[in-house]
Structure 1
Amino acid sequence: MESKGCVFNIQKFSTNDGPGIRTTVFLKGCPLHCGWCSNPESQAQKPQILWDLSKCVRCQQCVQTCPQHAVQFDVESGSIRFDFKTCVGCGACVAQCPQEALTLEGEWKDVEDVVAVCLQDRVFYEGSGGGVTLSGGEPMMQPDFAAALLSRLKQEGIATAIETTGYAPSAVFNRLLPDIDLFLFDCKHYDWQKHYEATGVYNDPILQNLKTALQSGKEVIVRIPVIPGVNNQLDDAQGFCELFQTLGVKRINLLPFHQFGERKYDFLNRVYSLHGIPALHEADLEAFRAVFLKNGFDCFF
């Protein structure tokens, strides 16, 4: 059983990741590569350096400090370049940066250390009907750690939830299922090929795991990130409805597209493919939502 996991955030007093007041534990690693991802730092399953060029004075302390020689200074562009395949996330460069232009996203933590943080707010969970939510990335990318953490939380009588893409081997999904009270289950697209084009993976295992969760009797809320040019047309809403009716989905949470994570792509020296595309708001999606309501779903923002 894996006692350590790569965690990039533990967010207290969260009210958007399940009912009541919650603590959300964000685990690193995701098998999907959605162009709109608001947490691109979560995709790699190891600690990772983010570079804020607006704070950097090009002193090159990081270049001189890195024991793996994973940091280089590009004279032509005046940019710091990180070789993330070579970087081991030791944080030596972060410690030496005089302007705090570097941050380390991700830290290896023991299960008991994470549980201890979660238990600090037990009184708030009990008073509000809340609990602990595992998020990411994709928590099932770290199955041993997720299983151990969920088991310990259930031993403490804490309600559990998971924010998941559903993209995991069925053996992993079935292993974690007993200790999960609520699934916040993302569905990016109803169409097999379009799902691949948008995320880099096909949705076969996702739909199979969604079916398993629904048949288990667990509480399941399907969440659709509504993305311009990907799945935001009324025909898309109808396509989702037809799929969900065959699976037995009841509740759907629409997540309007936003640009909150755009700047992180600069920090990772990556191109953000949805730059300049306007965010969506609830008012923009009333007709989209109406399709689900007409088809008998409990659909909400």
Structure 2
Amino acid sequence: MKSCIFNIQKFSLHDGPGIRTVVFFKGCPLTCKWCSNPESQKFRIQVLCDHSKCTKCQTCIKNNKANSIELIDNKIIIKAYDPNENYDMLCPYNALQVEGEELKIETIMKEIMKDKDFYDESSGGVTLSGGEVLSQAPFAIELMKALKKEHIHVAAETTGYATHEVFNEFIKNVDLLLYDMKHYDTIKHKEACGVSNETIIENMRFAVSNHIDVIARIPVIPNYNDSLEDAVQFSRLLKDIGIKKINLLPFHQFGLNKYELLGLEYAMKDVPQLYPEDLEDYKQVMINEGLDCYF
């Protein structure tokens, strides 16, 4: 049993309590315009080209066995990943970078267990993220079972977008859900993310009703969900569901360079970043509604 993983990030302090290791699953059914991890969207391994390093020498094209690399509009484009190709050896300037790897549970657990002492001492653990971890639920569930056998705290960062049956099985081994909430309005959610939020809200209600610890995470995006009225509507919906804690995530541009590496257009590239000080009034609205809201 394998899963496509694009990063195992150690010593994280922002994805659940204590010191944590975050396992990033590749692939996501949502198409959020502001996604800061575009390399997580596809369910397959990809090869990126750092055009700042590329000299257009075309060595990679000449030596590529699968003929899957081309020069288009004066840019190196990798059409498909070839598992038999050694991409580190294709470019003399180290411009090619593979994103994603098919890993077994045993391999991931071996890496996680290296830091078991840190989890124990800090009341930390492991967080499953993405992409969307629910899209690879069977593998994630088995990984969580392995973690629980080692008495490791398990958190999952998720959009909650999955069938009720999948979600129900998934949360049986979760200690904490970091639950992304993009918008309270179904139409606006679909416009920006490609899917409606009805299933997402239903699953959130189910998790809360089953006494799962849930923190709602709201990415606050300019001209999308950043008005004070948006804060009011979010608060009312989340209070109705039974959510008590809200983590605001101001829009940032940390992922901008990744779109260039992937050769993708980024709809938000000219949108200014937000900072916590820009959202103090937004946060206060939620606090006034009786919610524990923080950055």
**Structure 2 residue aligned with 1:197, among 191, 202, 206?**
191
1:120 paired with 2:114, answer yes
Is the CA contact (8 Å cut-off) linking 2:220 and 2:251 kept in structure 1? yes
Is the CA contact (8 Å cut-off) linking 1:27 and 1:139 kept in structure 2? yes
Q: Which whole-Å CA distance do the structure 2 matches of 1:282 and 1:292 have between them?
A: 14
Is the CA contact (8 Å cut-off) linking 1:89 and 1:104 kept in structure 2? no
1:261 paired with 2:255, answer yes
Is the CA contact (8 Å cut-off) linking 1:21 and 1:128 kept in structure 2? yes
Q: For 1:75-224, list aligned pairs within 5 A.
A: 77-83=73-79, 86-88=80-82, 90-224=84-218
Instruction: Give a deviation string over 1:7-51, Cα, whole Å, max 9, x none.
Output: 111111100110000000011000111111110000001111111
1:49 paired with 2:50, answer no
Is the CA contact (8 Å cut-off) linking 1:47 and 1:107 kept in structure 2? yes
Query: Equivalent residue for 2:267?
Result: 273
Go from structure 1 to structure 2 and tell me whether the alpha carbon gap of 1:207 and 1:89 turns closer, same or farther (over 3 Å shift): farther
| Long gaps (5+) in structure 1 | none
Query: What is the RMSD of the two structures over their aligned residues, measured on CA atoms?
Result: 1.2
Q: Which whole-Å CA distance do the structure 2 matches of 1:270 and 1:292 have between them?
A: 36
Is the CA contact (8 Å cut-off) linking 1:196 and 1:203 kept in structure 2? yes
1:58 is displaced (CA, Å) by 1.2
1:90 is displaced (CA, Å) by 4.9
Instruction: Give a deviation string over 1:88-107, Cα, whole Å, max 9, x none.
Output: 45553343111110100000
Corresponding letter in the other structure for 2:75: S
1:238 paired with 2:239, answer no
Is the CA contact (8 Å cut-off) linking 1:61 and 1:93 kept in structure 2? no
Is the CA contact (8 Å cut-off) linking 1:91 and 1:104 kept in structure 2? no
Q: Secondary structure at the match of 1:280?
A: coil
Is the CA contact (8 Å cut-off) linking 2:49 and 2:77 kept in structure 1? no
Corresponding letter in the other structure for 1:192: T
TM-score under structure 2 length normalisation? 0.97
Go from structure 1 to structure 2 and tell me whether the alpha carbon gap of 1:209 and 1:292 turns closer, same or farther (over 3 Å shift): same
Query: Equivalent residue for 2:16?
Result: 18
Go from structure 1 to structure 2 and tell me whether the alpha carbon gap of 1:57 and 1:276 turns closer, same or farther (over 3 Å shift): same
1:127 is displaced (CA, Å) by 0.6
**Structure 2 residue aligned with 1:295, among 284, 289, 293?**
289
1:139 is displaced (CA, Å) by 0.7
Corresponding letter in the other structure for 1:107: E
Q: Which whole-Å CA distance do the structure 1 matches of 2:123 and 2:275 have between them?
A: 28
Q: Which whole-Å CA distance do the structure 2 matches of 1:92 and 1:122 have between them?
A: 33
1:67 is displaced (CA, Å) by 3.4
Is the CA contact (8 Å cut-off) linking 2:33 and 2:266 kept in structure 1? yes
Is the CA contact (8 Å cut-off) linking 2:70 and 2:76 kept in structure 1? yes
Q: Which whole-Å CA distance do the structure 1 matches of 2:84 and 2:13 have between them?
A: 33
Q: Which whole-Å CA distance do the structure 2 matches of 1:275 and 1:197 have between them?
A: 18
Is the CA contact (8 Å cut-off) linking 1:10 and 1:24 kept in structure 2? yes
Q: Which whole-Å CA distance do the structure 2 matches of 1:91 and 1:178 have between them?
A: 40
1:36 paired with 2:34, answer yes
Residue identity over aligned pairs, in percent, reads 47
Corresponding letter in the other structure for 2:144: L
Is the CA contact (8 Å cut-off) linking 2:8 and 2:24 kept in structure 1? yes
Corresponding letter in the other structure for 1:28: K
1:234 is displaced (CA, Å) by 0.6
1:286 paired with 2:284, answer no
Is the CA contact (8 Å cut-off) linking 1:251 and 1:298 kept in structure 2? yes
Q: Which whole-Å CA distance do the structure 2 matches of 1:6 and 1:71 have between them?
A: 22
Q: Which whole-Å CA distance do the structure 2 matches of 1:95 and 1:40 have between them?
A: 25
How many residues are matched? 295
Corresponding letter in the other structure for 1:153: L
Runs (4+) of structure 1 exceeding 4 A deviation are 88-91
Corresponding letter in the other structure for 2:92: P
Corresponding letter in the other structure for 1:92: N
Go from structure 1 to structure 2 and tell me whether the alpha carbon gap of 1:91 and 1:12 turns closer, same or farther (over 3 Å shift): farther
Is the CA contact (8 Å cut-off) linking 1:130 and 1:159 kept in structure 2? yes
| Long gaps (5+) in structure 2 | none
1:65 is displaced (CA, Å) by 3.2
Corresponding letter in the other structure for 1:80: I
